[in-house]
Amino acid sequence: MKDYINYNEWLIVEKGFDPGLNRVSESIFSIGNGKMGQRANFEEKYSGDSLRGSYVAGIYYPDKTRVGWWKNGYPEYFAKIINSTNWIGINFNINGIELDLAKAKILAFTRILNMQHGLLIRTFIAELENGNRVEVNAQRFVSIDHTAIGVLRYSIKALNFSGEIKITPYLDGDVFNEDSNYNEKFWIETEKKIDGRKGFLTLETLKTKFRICTGMNFRILKNGVEADSQVISSEKEKYIEATQNVMVNEDDILTIEKYTATVTSLDYPVEKLNTETLKWVDLAVKTGFDLLFENHKNCWLRKWETSDIIIEGDVAAQQGIRYNIFQLNQTYTGEDERLNIGPKGFTGEKYGGVTYWDTEAYCLPFYLSTSTQDVAKKLLIYRHRHLTKAIENAQKLGFENGAALYPMVTINGEECHNEWEITFEEIHRNGAIAYAIYNYVNYTGDKEYLAPYGFEVLLGISRFWSQRVNWSEDKQKYVMLGVTGPNEYENNVNNNFHTSYMAVWTLKYTLEVVEYLQKEYPYLYNELISKWKFNAIKETSRWKDIIEKMYFPFDEKRQIYLQQDGFLDKEIIPVSELPASQRPINQKWSWDRILRSCYIKQADTLQSMFWFENNFTTEELKRHFDFYEPITVHESSLSPCVHAILAAKIGYVEKSYEMYLRTSRLDLDDYNNDTEDGLHITSMGGTWMSFVMGFGGLRAGNNQLVLNPFLPGKWKSYQFRVNYRGAHLILKKEKDKLTIVNDSSISVPLLVWGKQVTLEGNSSKEFLK
């Protein structure tokens, strides 16, 4: 755990520069707009340790799988959202010396991320090797108003010298991914042009043939007046630049405004990329930095109007939740159903920046409650678009009859994860996708989504579960063999509770959907029977048999479900007894030792308890939490949020707060010592859930919102907002009361602390407790 980020309600602040923390800060201060994102790399040259990263949504490279032992069914590649053209770069040469903070003496340094306005700011004072001192103020943003545009303003003041400053803005496409399996570069150049200050660079990905064009223009002001010195432009492979030399006296300030645009062949015909890019560049220059930022800022303020959470009395918690909301809002906007949410978003290379089950399990609730309904719906449509590929994935593993296995990792529907124990075994992901359909329909009331989209996905998944189980003569039960649950510190286990529970639940829910379609959409249902060759009587009969006779490992003594067969053969030693020097175990222990231990990476059995809490009594939830929480190391970013919500449910207020603070500040404080690889974007959805579903006690069910809020001890109050079926609610919890404002014309049925009430449109109500 690191503790160098200053507490502030709206700002992320780093005071002083530690090169050893630079990669962590590059992740923490990342910015994006749903279409592209940029790590917080320096604009000027930096020869120290850095992970340079500029990423564009949907543009990927299929990096050939690298394994020691190839197995049938292995994916041929791992899809990666690849590092693209560096658009922020500006080189500075001051009286013959390069400005490079790895070589200069840093006298002052501050980096600020303004979350309210979506602005990255960096200021520093540096002394160069020749004794020249400069004071720099750099600001940049990627526009949410015009998502092709990225803009920066860089001011440099001569503090103690006169002379010449050579300024060279550039575009550099000769970039690479550190995680390239074969040390390849993934781009080739197709075209470039630089004329004075204005130019463009067009690249094409190997294999996938995506094209990306980045354009730039800039202007330089000296003490607020345009500098008119000569501009010399040049180019080389995958690179263009323009250089302007400006003479300065002591206290003179040079300001460089660099305007860029990035467009891709996903959105424009290849033959129009260059012209469209330059149109966006021209628009940016014409609009100017200040107005571009004003429009961008207003877009951010509108986002905060529907998603902000306010905490009174705890700055660390306040900063944490806003940071998570900020990153979620700048990673996915729901404007393009071809896109999804990578575990690292636009902040790093790890996990390839592509889709995992995290989206359905942890991110969907945030977008359901803070955005319009269509934003969340597009996340479901994304999976429906990939149904054919999911069926092909299952066929590769030997499944038949339209069984669908959704990939563990994908960008186009094909499985591309290249670790066998996850690719072949971590099949609980299918259950998460099925649960997301239920979650969406239950929250929005949009049952029409089931006909046909939801049903088609559920049918494919149910067929998979039906074939994946087998009958055990010994147990006289159906069993699920050779799987990996959410706890990836166990591999190739039998009868993982969560996986088996998800299979049974999916079959039950699909039966409910079949009954609904038969009643409400009989003609469409008959068409679907024909389209999918659905033998309703035979297939549903088997599903019902599986539901009735599924085996779940259970310990009679403790009265708990076991994570998997044989779990109690392990030596059960609480995490609290592990020396701090051995944590995190995934960085300190051998894999063999981890697999033999009792330690749980993330919520596994408790994941089912969270999703299906109504199927268990409070006492049952407590027994399971009391057993599993002490042996959970939370070395997955997805773990603390589930424990926070369950702890709140069973009345463990202090534990709930502890887990919330951990998940909300996971990256800000680098709890797991891995933030340098990029942020944990999908777990940030879990942070929102831990607040709203944990402290707020929010649930949706029986066509109403259920609320059982409480106030953590040190807080004076909190306030959050949710959208629900067209209504917008503002909920404020204070010590002895809850106030709910319905900021819409739509009435909302509520169940507050067990009391049934309807909150009429444009009204408010207080509840005392």
Per-residue pLDDT at 417: 84
Question: Rounded to whole angstroms, how far apart are CA atoms 80 and 88?
Answer: 22
Burial 636-665 (b: 16+ CB within 10 A, else e): bbbbbbbbbbbbbbbebbebbbebbbbbbb
Q: Where are the beta strands (DSSP E) in 277-340?
A: 310-312
The answer to whether residue 419 scores a pLDDT higher than 80 is no
Per-residue pLDDT at 67: 76
Per-residue pLDDT at 350: 83
Per-residue pLDDT at 598: 98
- Looking from the CA of 447 toward its CB, the CA atoms found within 13 Å total 10
pLDDT 10s digits, 219-269: 999 999 999 899 999 999 999 999 999 999 999 999 999 999 999 999 999
- As a whole number, mean pLDDT of residues 720-725 equals 98
- As a whole number, mean pLDDT of residues 42-71 equals 91
Q: Is 421 a catalytic residue?
A: no
Per-residue pLDDT at 713: 86
| pTM summary value | 0.96
The answer to whether residue 74 scores a pLDDT higher than 80 is no
Per-residue pLDDT at 421: 72
pLDDT, mean over the chain: 96
pLDDT 10s digits, 78-133: 898 899 999 999 999 999 999 999 999 999 999 999 999 999 999 999 999 999 99
The answer to whether residue 473 scores a pLDDT higher than 90 is yes
What CA–CA distances, in Å, run from 571 to 575, 630, 710?
A: 12, 13, 37
pLDDT 10s digits, 578-590: 999 999 999 999 9
- As a whole number, mean pLDDT of residues 631-635 equals 96
Which of 44, 488, 539, 629 does the annotation list as catalytic? 488
Question: Rounded to whole angstroms, how far apart are CA atoms 609 and 258?
Answer: 52
Per-residue pLDDT at 51: 96
The answer to whether residue 737 scores a pLDDT higher than 80 is yes
pLDDT 10s digits, 519-551: 999 999 999 999 999 999 999 999 999 999 999
Question: Rounded to whole angstroms, how far apart are CA atoms 679 and 665?
Answer: 11
Per-residue pLDDT at 179: 87
Q: In this structure, is the dihedral angle defined by the CA atoms of residues 709, 714, 719 and 721, taken in order, positive or negative?
A: negative
Per-residue pLDDT at 767: 97
- As a whole number, mean pLDDT of residues 407-426 equals 87
Per-residue pLDDT at 352: 76
The answer to whether residue 75 scores a pLDDT higher than 90 is no
Could you tell me if 495 and 480 are in contact, meaning their C-beta atoms sit under 8 angstroms apart?
yes
- As a whole number, mean pLDDT of residues 381-394 equals 97
The answer to whether residue 420 scores a pLDDT higher than 80 is no
